[in-house]
Structure 1
Amino acid sequence: MVLAFSGDEFLIGREARKVLRAQGYYVSNTNSLVEEITGSKVKDAIFQGSLFGGKAVFLDFDSGFVGQSDTKHRNEVMKVLQAVPDDVLVVIVDSKATVGRKKAFSKLGNHKHLPTPRFDNLHRWVRKELLANHVKFESRVPIVLAELFEQDLGGILGEIEKMLSLDAYVTEELIYSLANQSSPQNTFELIEAIVRGETSRALMICEQLLVQGEEATRIFGVLNWQFEHVAKCVGLFGPGKEITPEMASRELKIQIFAAKKALSIARRLNEDRLLLVLEVLLDGEIGIKSGRDARITLGELGIRMASIFTEA
């Protein structure tokens, strides 16, 4: 029996181990081939297992075939796999499987593709893992974990293991603490203060971000990213045209929660005020790049941007 997995390297490795364990196979009774795989090695592993009453063979195509020169060996292995006895389980991981190999795997036995979860799918995946591990958590925890670790699924599961050891209700603050990330202030809190028109708070957050060691260029990068999407949302508006977060997400090719945020800000701006916001950002960025004092430049930017929203 042949079971092949393609897609995300972490997910397929975990799923392969899960399948082997479910069938009663562990390191001690599994013949693993992970380097310099050849047709003869696979043939020996398969038929040696069959001779002793059934065994499992694990093949890692990712590390077993390196470079174009191994194409010949991989083709040899694919031919050997056509004659796998029923009492031998062959589990294959091939994260970069081509369409042709996926079809071949399906003909040989069973093939399962596990893509890397992204955007809202990543949030759902994190939430599912938290629930599966019986972790109690705030609603934003899956989003925060996804923002911190992005597609590092192993890193996310590592954080979940930390949560389990604490046996505590998981909050956003706890996540930052476990991940050794400074959470007292972040650039998104600066955006919140700006949008609420809180000039003094915006100034305070700008100063605290610099004290925490944030680079001014990185802060501007996040602000530019946010207001670039806000500008695009303003461009989507039209007479009698209702824009939903789902529509904005598709048009801007961003996650739903990011689209919601951009839309909520865009609805507070007309084109004239949007131009003022973008001018302030440009002035600040030019100031930083020309060597102007970061504390003064960021402080002025926070006050000027928040003032625009105070008038909105």
Structure 2
Amino acid sequence: MIRTFSGDPFLAGRAFRSAIAAAVAQGIDVRRLGEGIDASAVHDALAQGGLFGASSVAIDLDEAFAGGGAAATAPRNAVIDAVEGGAVDGDVFLFDSGATAARQKRYRAIGELEHEPTPRYANVVRWVRGEIAARGLTTAGDVAGTLADLFGDDLAAIASEIAKLRALGTTLSPDDVRRIANRPATRSAFDLVDAVIAGDAAASLRIARALVEAGEPPVRVMATLGWQLDLIAGCVAIEAAGGLGVEETARVLKANAFPVRKALAVAARLDERSLRRLVDLFVRADERIKGGGDPEWILEACVLSLAHALEVSARTPSVRDEVTSGRARR
């Protein structure tokens, strides 16, 4: 049986290695082929029997043809031809994470294909939840969203972190995860976003200064704020058009559900006029930094202005709120 694993490099690679490990656990001799292989080497490997009976061959096409580009097409196809035309008394495991639609079709025709697509946007959090459940990690609160917030779509880092957290053997909250993950720059950047969104000027200033003192470039912190502001603007537009649920909004905005949920909460108290003021404040600060102004001072002034504007918006009904309440009274 020819078993091929394709799709996300981490997920497909993990499945590939797990299949090999399962065969080895059953006492099957698995010969591994990777860097430097060609069709001849594959023919030879398939022709050899196992020392104690059945044997299998594992071929890592990613390793064999890494960086080959178009020049790797012919030799890779020759290897696949050799696999298809060869005979082995066990399984052949193929790893081809970047398999095109045509190669996937071929793999299905000659054996079994396990395709592991990379989860995107809201699906990242769903994948993290599945990983948490599969590893038996006990949590309280949105730990999956927190991990996605901290690590983005770095699936390998998330899986490694879950394994580390599982070893602790305790129930973990989002705050526990942020502390244990030990990612000060990322964590603080999102803490800054949280403080600004909450309209907490003092906390925003304190976190911004801590970031700079820890060596985080002000430009990068501004980029994080800009990303969150873009998300809020998208949520305001969606809410103005009638609104969608968290998951659907995340899909439309191509973002994780965790930060989208926060952005929707802010968008609920903003109208176009108040949003424009926030955007203007940010754009002016961004232009001053890029124009050669003092980046630390501009960052501090920016977070203070944004936090104050959001604090005011929390106390002032938006035009949309007033229209909605007026309709309710009628």
Q: Please tell me the TM-score bracket, short chain as reference.
A: 0.7 to 0.9
TM-score by length of 1: 0.86
Measured on the aligned residues, the alpha-carbon RMSD in Å equals 2.8
Equivalent residue of 1:56, what SS? strand
Equivalent residue of 2:49, what SS? helix
Distance 2:256 2:305 in 1: 29
Identical amino acids, percent of aligned pairs: 33
260-269 or 135-144, larger mean C-alpha shift: 135-144
Tell me, yes or no, if the aligned pair for 2:178 and 2:187 is still in contact at 8 Å. no
1:295 Cα deviation from its structure 2 partner: 4.5
The answer to whether 1:267 aligns with 2:268 is yes
- Which runs of 5 or more residues in structure 1 are unaligned? none
- Which runs of 5 or more residues in structure 2 are unaligned? 314-330
The 5-angstrom pairing of residues 117-266 of structure 1 reads 117-182=119-184, 186-238=188-240, 241-266=242-267
1:55 Cα deviation from its structure 2 partner: 0.6
1:190 Cα deviation from its structure 2 partner: 2.9
Distance 2:10 2:78 in 1: 26
The 3 A distance-change label for structure 1 pair 220 and 171 is same
The 3 A distance-change label for structure 1 pair 124 and 234 is closer
Q: In structure 2, give the amino acid aligned to 1:213.
A: G
Distance 1:65 1:310 in 2: 55
1:182 Cα deviation from its structure 2 partner: 2.0
Q: In structure 1, give the amino acid aligned to 2:19.
A: V
What is residue 114 of structure 1 aligned with on the other side? 116
Q: In structure 2, give the amino acid aligned to 1:64.
A: A
Equivalent residue of 1:235, what SS? helix
1:192 Cα deviation from its structure 2 partner: 3.0
Distance 1:140 1:106 in 2: 38
TM-score by length of 2: 0.82
What number of residue pairs does the alignment pair up?
311
The 3 A distance-change label for structure 1 pair 52 and 193 is closer
The answer to whether 1:297 aligns with 2:283 is no
Q: In structure 2, give the amino acid aligned to 1:78.
A: I
1:145 Cα deviation from its structure 2 partner: 2.3
190-199 or 6-15, larger mean C-alpha shift: 190-199
Equivalent residue of 1:135, what SS? coil
What is residue 107 of structure 2 aligned with on the other side? 105
Distance 2:196 2:76 in 1: 57
Tell me, yes or no, if the aligned pair for 1:123 and 1:146 is still in contact at 8 Å. yes
Tell me, yes or no, if the aligned pair for 1:37 and 1:64 is still in contact at 8 Å. yes
* Runs of 4 or more above 4 Å deviation: 25-28
Tell me, yes or no, if the aligned pair for 1:50 and 1:88 is still in contact at 8 Å. no
1:56 Cα deviation from its structure 2 partner: 0.6
